[in-house]
Amino acid sequence: MAIQVGGRIPSATLNLVQDGVQAIDSVEFFAGRKVVLFAVPGAFTPTCSAKHLPGYIQHIDQFTAKGFAVACLSVNDAFVMSAWGKSQDTPSAIQMLADGNGEFTKALGLELDASAFGMGLRAKRFALVADDGIVTHLFVEAPGEFSVSAAESVLASL
């Protein structure tokens, strides 16, 4: 059962890639602030690298001006997330979250079986907005789609 609007962000350990790597708890990460989290099926994959992350990079100032933190999630390890972030010149205002074991993604119920593509378990492409850990907006893409979770789409909803 996937998380719904009104639901509470579940607890799981994630690696935050920012000035090095630190293990954090997802509940603490979302506590006391408004966060836009967008998730991609894989670092270095075409849509994620050419469109999804770049859109948030392009619009980061608008999210910040509206009072939202922005985080990017993938079921990749922290080394890969770090390399991917650097390859895209990602600003530090976008927090890179590595869910290498897929625990947080599975706790959200938003996992994707990508083993047919040689990618094992991944996250669906989605975006969610949470206020103090309560989900206020949820945008889950249909398989292969890139539309509702784009930065422009999420910005328009805020």
Catalytic residues, by residue number, are: 48
Question: Which window, 31-39, 53-61, 70-78, 132-140, contacts a copy of itself (CB under 8 A)?
Answer: 70-78
Regarding 117 and contact with a copy of itself (CB under 8 A), the answer is yes
- Quote the distance between the C-alpha of residue 35 and its chain's center: 10
Regarding 119 and contact with a copy of itself (CB under 8 A), the answer is yes
> Cβ neighbours of residue 124 under 8 Å, at least 6 residues apart?
39, 41, 110, 111, 112, 140, 141
Residues 53 and 79: their CA atoms lie apart, in Å, by 17
Regarding 66 and contact with a copy of itself (CB under 8 A), the answer is no
CA 29, 31, 35 angle in degrees (round to 5)?
70
Regarding 26 and contact with a copy of itself (CB under 8 A), the answer is no
Regarding 13 and contact with a copy of itself (CB under 8 A), the answer is yes
Which residues in this chain contact a copy of itself in the complex, by CB under 8 A? Answer: 13-15, 23, 42-46, 76-80, 82-84, 87, 98-102, 115, 117-120
